Structure 1
């Protein structure tokens, strides 16, 4: 999230994965430029070192010759299923160097999964290949595991053994699960402070973590690490520039993943990740860049960003990108207790209305042809709700879903980058939830660097209207630096938005406990991130009862 002051409006038909971008480009740049964009998209597999899906070659590197620990970026697990987890690592003995300090050769890596952290009872093991074409990353889908069980895992290559990770499988789809505790985090600008929040999260007892976007930022990081103000080390100059190329994005992930607190959180809990804008570029919309770059250029940048994102996250083969496209929205289940619909509100959205400025909603933003999800994803979401047998339906996504007025005027300004700029999209989603019979709707959000708790109203301008669900907004891990318990606009926001039940501007994470009777949200915050080691406290706790949406203090 950053102030925007850009561009025109351009309506997109977002009913497919490829055509919307090219159609939008054709409308804006004419037929000749359209063919240029088409050619650029077709050439992506051969550009910016992006091999076609599944292509990897080369000769083997003798792992015994790796003289420095290659597991500097840690390990991770993700997207737990009842019988499977995804295990991730990336080999980088020199993480701040292009290629991670490894030759352009593939490396054999052994992996193990056990039911104990001493690896006495190993239940699954194998060997995977870390290819240079994929920046020596590994994505191991371990199958045939027992549902609802904790496991330990590790990797080995040559004489080097990774740290031990802990993960878990989801309960069986038909299991009458009675309790789930998950955490949500977002927005971790390295240059704004330490990842102390992740250290506390690593020490918390949660089943799974949802990362709601802005895992990294594309902005330059100086040699002192920005607000971290390193005095005992200097970062290489290659970080002191905006990220644009595949090598840039890979190196930026290496910087973030070398952070010990982030490594600890990944090693302790399985993650479910989705992106927002900064994994590519601030406030981009589909194929439209923040600064009106030609689409053929921006699609190359997007392809590089998506490629690096998949390489560096615990994501399955189904999420592997194809040029500038990546199937990130997906559905997970936790027995019959919860269904998680993980959205992508960047790749398929129409351009922001009114130049992406703060603006009162109007004909441009309320055009029903506009969408924040794209028609295909919107249908997928609503169809999934209709088929859901879950007690709670949780929509994990990026930007504020509930109405958020910034002032007390009759024509109050709102964010055109959030769902307020796509009110027809929001109306269709809410009507879809109602028609599907979703009684217990929880929306999880990141992006705004503050913690919010909203009642989701049928009519946000009528406080007496029906409450349809609950939105829990996780504050940032580091973005925005230390923050304050009561930001300067705290009173204005509460007056302008009666459905806003909580607002806090500190850094932190949110922990949500679900059972058959209620959902409880604990807003966990730290006093500072510009210095390491700040303690964590619970700023507030709220509950919403099953079958009776609406937040109450716990």
Structure 2
């Protein structure tokens, strides 16, 4: 698996000409004024209290003085390559306090990777510093590992040993692997319910998990935990407000990662993560926030949110933000079986048309200059498809790609926040996929808090047009609370969208197996999340054959 973007140590990172281009990619101002991100990006880091890149000379805390467990937020791994994987933890003995209870001192942390869960066969070990400037997060890009292999990892500081995690590397480049099992999850509003789906996901036999966004929600969480309705826990008042500062976002990640089911899922599987809107603010678009504020006021918040996201996810140094900019889109491979082009559809997008309310398509939404990806990311994606030799080309991203008519009128309203509000941008990708000869094209989607299965049509308004690929939308982990098997709009949506093959409104995740002959998708569902303990079942299963796009129920 070879990622696109920068890699290497935290110090000495350099930007490429493409990075400057990305800052100007979202160029279409609508109701809110965009700010071009050039030299201003560097100064924004200081307005949010973020440190400069590089090494730090802070005093060092003697690990023996840490008297409470610093590994309260668990461990994680991510972005597996044939010879390496990124392992992560964050020290926080008092996770809900500013700085996690460690102040501004550096802490020395040992790490080790082994072939077995007893850590008898240790293959690599080392020591790294946890810096307060990075929220005392720790990440190690462990290199020199064997392709297609499972490993166990853990961290130690002083007398404290972290929980152990299990991870794996990708197959060797060019390896003709027979299959890949993955899961896709999204949308885990803590205040909407328990992470029961993650508890079951931790027990699934999958190779990798794709998190498609809304890992965090910026909304206030009351002392009772919202829909969790705690009777034996009172959350601190620090959570009962919207996140806007770096300290707010760091503490909110601590709340989310305090959940044992989320920690279990991370410990069980490597994750590949990308963000949507709520990791920063609802429905933001590029430098434009939800409320039409001056971008100069919003971008410091975006810088804080992006920084906290990187600190709390198993991401390499190549994704370290520079002020309000971060290169999150990247490419991974699984031998010759699959290419994954992970998108960022928030940072570079044009502002939503028609004040971001459902609307019949018109001149504003269909302006050819509008983009959901930005020009540089779009070219990167199309070039990647053109060069791909993988059997499956998979596009993990955030918002509904397929057309979704919201009513039965001849001129139906569409969502302006999804690809329907950027039809020219979608059309360029469809044309690019066709031109590249992408035969086995699959889109993985989050955002909408329901499970969908779509046939991607050459012309969504003509049910008889060619089917080009498959879109699988995972439902939410918790967002939307319990949901329902058939939401109130189920009949309208299924009648208005003949290419919609499945629709379920309950919580859960998607399990997908890619093979040499076909791919099988299982929609794993839990019946409730507002109380713990729900069982998991498969609501529906579909197969799509290699060389014959389209979904067939199993």
Deviation at 1:17, TM superposition (A): 2.0
How many residues end up aligned between the 2 structures?
536
Cα–Cα, structure 1 residues 331 and 105, in superposed 2: closer, same or farther, change >3 Å?
A: same
Q: How does 1:284-299 map to 2 (within 5 A)?
A: 284-299=284-299
CA distance in 1, matches of 2:322, 2:358: 34
CA distance in 2, matches of 1:397, 1:510: 14
Partner of 1:17 in structure 2? 22
Partner of 1:3 in structure 2? none
- Is 1:49 paired with 2:49? yes
Partner of 1:10 in structure 2? none
Deviation at 1:362, TM superposition (A): 1.1
- Is 1:523 paired with 2:523? yes
Partner of 1:7 in structure 2? none
CA RMSD of aligned residues (A): 1.6
Q: How does 1:67-106 map to 2 (within 5 A)?
A: 67-106=67-106
CA distance in 2, matches of 1:372, 1:481: 29
Deviation at 1:25, TM superposition (A): 7.8
CA offsets, 1:458-512, max 9 Å, x none? 0000000000000000000000000000011111101000000000000000000
Q: Secondary structure at the match of 1:359?
A: coil
Deviation at 1:29, TM superposition (A): 5.9
Partner of 1:464 in structure 2? 464
Cα–Cα, structure 1 residues 189 and 28, in superposed 2: closer, same or farther, change >3 Å?
A: closer
- Is 1:226 paired with 2:226? yes
Cα–Cα, structure 1 residues 542 and 24, in superposed 2: closer, same or farther, change >3 Å?
A: closer
CA offsets, 1:416-451, max 9 Å, x none? 000000001111001101111100000000000000
CA distance in 1, matches of 2:209, 2:203: 13
Is the CA contact (8 Å cut-off) linking 1:444 and 1:471 kept in structure 2? yes
Q: Secondary structure at the match of 1:41?
A: helix
Partner of 1:367 in structure 2? 367
Partner of 2:250 in structure 1? 250
Deviation at 1:55, TM superposition (A): 4.3
Q: Secondary structure at the match of 1:43?
A: helix
Deviation at 1:53, TM superposition (A): 1.9
Q: Secondary structure at the match of 1:453?
A: strand
Partner of 2:488 in structure 1? 488
Deviation at 1:27, TM superposition (A): 11
Q: How does 1:389-408 map to 2 (within 5 A)?
A: 389-408=389-408
CA distance in 1, matches of 2:426, 2:20: 17
CA distance in 2, matches of 1:260, 1:124: 28
CA offsets, 1:32-82, max 9 Å, x none? xx79x8775331232222012224230110001000000000000000000
Is the CA contact (8 Å cut-off) linking 2:20 and 2:38 kept in structure 1? no
Cα–Cα, structure 1 residues 372 and 238, in superposed 2: closer, same or farther, change >3 Å?
A: same
CA distance in 2, matches of 1:26, 1:398: 22
Q: Secondary structure at the match of 1:81?
A: coil
Partner of 1:500 in structure 2? 500
Partner of 1:9 in structure 2? none
- Is 1:307 paired with 2:312? no
Q: Secondary structure at the match of 2:21?
A: coil
Give unpaired runs (5+ residues) of structure 1: 1-13
Is the CA contact (8 Å cut-off) linking 2:41 and 2:322 kept in structure 1? no
Is the CA contact (8 Å cut-off) linking 2:114 and 2:152 kept in structure 1? yes
Partner of 2:177 in structure 1? 177
Q: Secondary structure at the match of 1:17?
A: helix
CA distance in 2, matches of 1:452, 1:238: 36
Partner of 2:12 in structure 1? none
Cα–Cα, structure 1 residues 261 and 29, in superposed 2: closer, same or farther, change >3 Å?
A: closer
Is the CA contact (8 Å cut-off) linking 2:30 and 2:351 kept in structure 1? no
CA offsets, 1:119-154, max 9 Å, x none? 110001000110010010011100000000000000
Cα–Cα, structure 1 residues 385 and 25, in superposed 2: closer, same or farther, change >3 Å?
A: closer
Q: Which moved more, 1:463-472 or 1:54-63?
A: 54-63
Partner of 1:61 in structure 2? 61
Partner of 1:280 in structure 2? 280
Is the CA contact (8 Å cut-off) linking 2:195 and 2:262 kept in structure 1? yes
Cα–Cα, structure 1 residues 327 and 38, in superposed 2: closer, same or farther, change >3 Å?
A: closer
Is the CA contact (8 Å cut-off) linking 1:15 and 1:376 kept in structure 2? no
Is the CA contact (8 Å cut-off) linking 2:31 and 2:351 kept in structure 1? no
Q: How does 1:135-534 map to 2 (within 5 A)?
A: 135-534=135-534
CA distance in 1, matches of 2:438, 2:548: 12
CA distance in 2, matches of 1:25, 1:531: 44
Cα–Cα, structure 1 residues 29 and 540, in superposed 2: closer, same or farther, change >3 Å?
A: closer
CA distance in 2, matches of 1:177, 1:288: 44
Cα–Cα, structure 1 residues 530 and 26, in superposed 2: closer, same or farther, change >3 Å?
A: closer
Is the CA contact (8 Å cut-off) linking 1:15 and 1:375 kept in structure 2? no
Q: Secondary structure at the match of 1:16?
A: helix
Deviation at 1:173, TM superposition (A): 1.0
Partner of 2:15 in structure 1? none
Q: Secondary structure at the match of 1:433?
A: helix
Partner of 1:545 in structure 2? 545
Cα–Cα, structure 1 residues 378 and 26, in superposed 2: closer, same or farther, change >3 Å?
A: closer
Partner of 2:14 in structure 1? none
Q: Secondary structure at the match of 1:272?
A: strand
CA offsets, 1:374-400, max 9 Å, x none? 010001001001111100000000000
Is the CA contact (8 Å cut-off) linking 2:30 and 2:353 kept in structure 1? no
CA offsets, 1:138-183, max 9 Å, x none? 1110000000000000000000000110000000011001100000
Deviation at 1:258, TM superposition (A): 0.7
Q: Secondary structure at the match of 2:503?
A: strand
Is the CA contact (8 Å cut-off) linking 2:486 and 2:505 kept in structure 1? yes
Cα–Cα, structure 1 residues 199 and 370, in superposed 2: closer, same or farther, change >3 Å?
A: same
CA distance in 1, matches of 2:176, 2:30: 51
CA distance in 1, matches of 2:279, 2:221: 15
CA distance in 1, matches of 2:484, 2:29: 42
Q: Secondary structure at the match of 1:481?
A: coil
